[in-house]
Structure 1
Amino acid sequence: MSDYGHPLTFGAFLSPGNAEPGRVVGLAMLAEQVGFDLVTFQDHPYQPAFLDTWTLMSFVAARTSTVRLAANVTNLPLRPPAVLARSVASLDLLSGGRVELGLGAGAFWDAIEAMGGRRLSPGQGVRALAEAIDVIRQFWDVDARGGVRVDGEFHRVVGAKRGPAPAHDVGIWLGAYKPRMLALTGQLADGWLPSLSYLQPGDLDRGNAVIDDAARQAGRDPADVRRLLNVTGRFAPVGRGPLDGPAEQWAEELADLALSDGISTFILGSDDPEDLRRFAAEVAPAARELVAAERTAATTPAPANPAPTPGPAAPPAARRPPVGAGAFAVVPTPDDGARRSAIRVWDETTRPTGPAPDLARTYTAHDQASAQHLVDVHDGLRAELTRLYDLVEQVGAGLVEAGTARSHINTMTIRQNKWTLGTYCESYCRVVTTHHTLEDRGVFPHLRRGDARLAPVLDRLEQEHHAIHDVLERVDRALVAFVSVSDGMTELRAAVDLLSDTLLSHLAYEERELVEPIARLGLN
């Protein structure tokens, strides 16, 4: 068993299809919005149905600001290493240090040869890759004396000037499966990047052993080689197999891979926006929590007088609640009263209020965690609103076309939410009871049954959900009009200002009225 102690990170593995060029860009931007650490793209230069990966990465780098980018993995036989070194360093400088370098020795040799590349045997491919890494690292080492010199069997550079240096220490990750490639990973690389679908049971353990031995022989610490993994699967209400089931099953399986096989970066292969959202919002946090708990337990000394063995493990939401048991301590987000628009979609003074909380009541940590989740979900929507403003400014500056902006907005949670079901219900019910439909286990129907005094508040919230939908439609119409109206930016900004007013007002009202009932009544 291997756990190298690296913090867990999560990424997306996207197909660079050219039929809808804006789609893959929108998915990359979505991945950043929902919290991914990394976005990667297939690199098959011989595939006419794909965009060129390095051109795409440059475009995506200009549309994002925090997420890291990499080819998964770069097709080295069609990417000369001297040119590749400067491409990587240049994009890393332009993106503020957000580029990593996945490398592969090559596959699909008929297609490579048809494009002018040289067909190599497996052994030749490994040797060519080792030479390429030498070339790339020499180009990046601007402090060394003299030019780049590699007189290899496959790559030859005779005194080229070094540079530029990347903005950060770019990781070189190898897509390796066979012993020679695995040994090369341990000797020279910063990461191992296989795909789980290509591995047989035990391959991760065997691969780690080869990499670790090779690293030690090269005088390196095996932990210097990060273990990454491309994963695919299916989200389903009931588990039917590995990575085929509810989000909590995914989290447990990924946590086991982290603790048993040392995997610290999980990269989801999917072009489905909903899969990306669920992986980032439900799987990643739970997997991080499970791994952190196990690591803490492994390093915490046992007490002198051990306590009795505890009962069944608490559900994930109760393992690390935002507040402890006792008096109600979840703080709703206040409405600061600031408004950007002169239009009022509703009269806030007519909003009903629910029953006053019982000040003598106490709440368990699980109760409070359930209530806190409503605030957390809303915080995500507030953050999306900020990103929406940024996107509109990019449209106004000519950096993003209106059509691309529409496509991008349509992938946002604020657009995808079925507002008639309730913001909270759409997210929380999926986390807690993935095997039931939202309609069967919706939060609003449950609260109605639990406390009839909440009915006027719930009726009003549902009315506001419909109104928010109409305001979002107004934003969409303003984007459509932007390209044909002389002063379309004014209308677009006004529509987004109205959305900001209605959404922030509504979220504050919903939290004020529902956090305590959710804690008090639960969800079952």
Structure 2
Amino acid sequence: MRRPGRFLGGPLLTDYGHELRFGTFLTPSNQNPERVVGLTQLTEQSGLDLATFQDHPYQSAFFDTWTLLSYLAARTERITLAGNVLNLPLRQPAVLARSVASLDLLSGGRIELGLGAGAFWDAIEAMGGRRLTPGQSVQALTEAIEIIRGIWNTEERRALRINGEHYRVAGAKRGPAPAHPIEIWLGAYKPRMLRLVGRAADGWLPSVPYLSSLGDLARGNAIIDEAAAEAGRDPAAIRRLLNINGVFARSNNGFLNGPVDQWVEELAELALTEGISVFLLGTDHPEAIQRFAHEVAPAVRELVAAERSRPRPADAPGAALVTEPSAAEPASSQAPAASEQGQYERLGVAPTPDDGTRLHPRSRELLDEDTRPSRPESGPDVAYDDVSRALGQHLIDVHDHLRAELRRLRELIDQVRVGTLSAGEARSAINQMTLRQHNWSLGAYCASYCRVVTQHHTLEDDSVFPHLRAQEEALEPVIDRLTEEHQVIHRVLNDVDRALVEFISQPDDFAPLQEAVDVLTDVLLSHLSYEERELVEPLARYGFYEGQVRSLRRSPR
């Protein structure tokens, strides 16, 4: 495996923009029962996101992985758990679907489903499984995915009937539905399996030892993306995961065999140029888990965030993954009006204007927009460079993500309300979104979105705002007002939560939820525009935290 080249300053080739996650790939050895439990708990305690486990039911030295996952769900509190990957030929898909959904409900939405088409066929046959050719195994996996999703789809009233070549269900009852939209990740290497990922899966999960070179990632991404587009899916909605192995050493001895800084650079490059957003470290050593969690993961996140914030030319590779706003979208997501451009002409970054549209009469009084203070404009002597522009643009990019998700949430409510989309179809649409939320139901999707907004505001209140206060005293009235508006928005989010309770108990009555989401739309879009108008330029000068501008300007370009 060759070591990647340095990416800093270069184009982002295939960055799908997913939030980065880090976890472990543990051996389910049964020689010391408490060891794998302890390593899983260490994974959680160290701050990693997920723990995953091999599944070889024919291996007598291993725990049965599904039994282990069930036990670990009760011995952990936060971490996501998954098989990596479950051996489909020895796990009947309809039963597996109910097992996965049941454990997801019992664990509070902490289960994902990794699946494999099968390998080691002699051992599978010895356990009573069927030996399949490569083509047959792909077809069997295709049928299994359809069955699993069918069992989970409790919005469909009819019994599930699928008559496949390898698996069939003849009137199976549906349910239970999982507690969150469980992702199906496929371990895949060959074109037929990769095309299946593009058509029907939520994630691609290869392992570094089975890749001939890093070029396999680019080739796999191309096949997946093409298959997804042909199936009418957004290629960027498919998560890219990677099982990795490595050694922490003092000097560079090859890919992921060297000091922490080398690990950070190599993993960040895989995220930015190959689209990998989940890194699973194959190790059973506590020290390696802790170093990966405490030293590698935070630094990779920081480096990727800095690179993503750099401006990219419209014709750069990967730029096509950015969706342009459509003509039908509200003016709040379009280019700013000329009257609002003046103070930002020198910066070259345009805040998003507020077009004044309000969906509910209560919205204006909640924010009392006419009393908002403004910061003094920067003087003509202030100069900006590419780093400044990138820092200013970053806030707009984060806000645009919230705006896009808000539009999608509203579209789903509208379509279900007028009867052009069933609740089951709405569930499927949510499952295809770039930002996957952790609940199958429409109402819980709204709740998850509210949590995302709350987390964004908490980060600003606790970190960004104090930094800006310390840099420029004249910003204090604006920051005080923005902080007050965060509290207003949080109260509106609570109103949405209350409306969701009514929606769950009375799914035919959309009025309370519609009103709550209308008010949320009004106050959030108004606030985001005000915040951009007042803070994009200061952030360009001062960054989001102390020393950020200086640090980025020292980075190799």
Provide TM-score, normalisation by structure 2: 0.55
1:447-498 CA deviation, whole Å, 9 max, x = no partner? xxxxxxxxxxxxxxxxxxxxxxxxxxxxxxxxxxxxxxxxxxxxxxxxxxxx
In the other structure, the counterpart of 1:36 is 48
Instruction: Give 3-state SS (helix, strand or coil) of 1:242's partner.
Output: coil
What's the Cα RMSD here? 2.2
Paired with 1:307 and 1:185, the residues of 2 have a C-alpha distance of 42
Paired with 2:387 and 2:179, the residues of 1 have a C-alpha distance of 51
Paired with 2:204 and 2:385, the residues of 1 have a C-alpha distance of 41
In the other structure, the counterpart of 2:186 is 174
In the other structure, the counterpart of 2:64 is 52
Residue 224 (structure 1) shift: 1.0
- 2:259 maps to 1:251: no
Structure with higher RCO (Cα < 8 A, 6+ apart): 2
Structure 2 counterparts to residues 337-416 of structure 1, below 5 A:
none
Paired with 2:77 and 2:196, the residues of 1 have a C-alpha distance of 33
Paired with 2:25 and 2:310, the residues of 1 have a C-alpha distance of 33
Change (3 A) 1:307 1:299: closer
1:101-133 CA deviation, whole Å, 9 max, x = no partner? 000000000000000000000000000000000
In the other structure, the counterpart of 1:242 is 255
Which of 112, 137, 146 is matched with 2:149 structurally? 137
Residue 200 (structure 1) shift: 2.0
Which of 279, 287, 306 is matched with 2:292 structurally? 279
Paired with 1:132 and 1:79, the residues of 2 have a C-alpha distance of 10
Instruction: Give 3-state SS (helix, strand or coil) of 1:241's partner.
Output: coil
In the other structure, the counterpart of 2:95 is 83
Structure 2 counterparts to residues 70-219 of structure 1, below 5 A:
70-201=82-213, 202-219=215-232
In the other structure, the counterpart of 1:19 is 31
- 2:311 maps to 1:298: yes
Instruction: Give 3-state SS (helix, strand or coil) of 2:111's partner.
Output: coil
Instruction: Give 3-state SS (helix, strand or coil) of 1:5's partner.
Output: coil
Structure 2 counterparts to residues 462-477 of structure 1, below 5 A:
none
- Write the letter of the residue equivalent to 1:145: R
Change (3 A) 1:146 1:277: same
Paired with 1:145 and 1:129, the residues of 2 have a C-alpha distance of 25
Which of 10, 16, 20 is matched with 1:8 structurally? 20
Residue 309 (structure 1) shift: 9.9
Which of 219, 233, 236 is matched with 2:246 structurally? 233
The answer to whether the Cα contact below 8 Å between 2:55 and 2:85 also exists between their aligned partners in 1 is yes
The answer to whether the Cα contact below 8 Å between 2:205 and 2:240 also exists between their aligned partners in 1 is yes
Instruction: Give 3-state SS (helix, strand or coil) of 2:223's partner.
Output: helix
Instruction: Give 3-state SS (helix, strand or coil) of 2:240's partner.
Output: strand
* Unpaired runs of at least 5, structure 2: 1-12, 314-343, 349-382, 389-462, 471-557
Residue 197 (structure 1) shift: 1.4
Paired with 1:17 and 1:68, the residues of 2 have a C-alpha distance of 20
In the other structure, the counterpart of 1:266 is 279
In the other structure, the counterpart of 1:69 is 81
Residue 237 (structure 1) shift: 1.2
* Unpaired runs of at least 5, structure 1: 311-321, 330-524
Rg: which structure is higher? 1
Alignment: residue pair count: 316
1:403-426 CA deviation, whole Å, 9 max, x = no partner? xxxxxxxxxxxxxxxxxxxxxxxx
Paired with 2:166 and 2:138, the residues of 1 have a C-alpha distance of 11
Residue 298 (structure 1) shift: 3.1
The answer to whether the Cα contact below 8 Å between 2:23 and 2:280 also exists between their aligned partners in 1 is yes
Change (3 A) 1:32 1:146: same
Residue 307 (structure 1) shift: 4.3
Which of 237, 246, 259 is matched with 1:224 structurally? 237
Change (3 A) 1:309 1:21: closer
Superposed structure 1 runs of 4+ greater than 2 Å apart: 298-310
1:353-412 CA deviation, whole Å, 9 max, x = no partner? xxxxxxxxxxxxxxxxxxxxxxxxxxxxxxxxxxxxxxxxxxxxxxxxxxxxxxxxxxxx
In the other structure, the counterpart of 1:339 is none
- Write the letter of the residue equivalent to 1:44: H
- Write the letter of the residue equivalent to 2:174: R
Change (3 A) 1:146 1:276: same
- Write the letter of the residue equivalent to 2:109: G
Provide TM-score, normalisation by structure 1: 0.58
Paired with 2:39 and 2:308, the residues of 1 have a C-alpha distance of 33
In the other structure, the counterpart of 2:551 is none
Change (3 A) 1:309 1:287: closer
Paired with 1:60 and 1:309, the residues of 2 have a C-alpha distance of 45
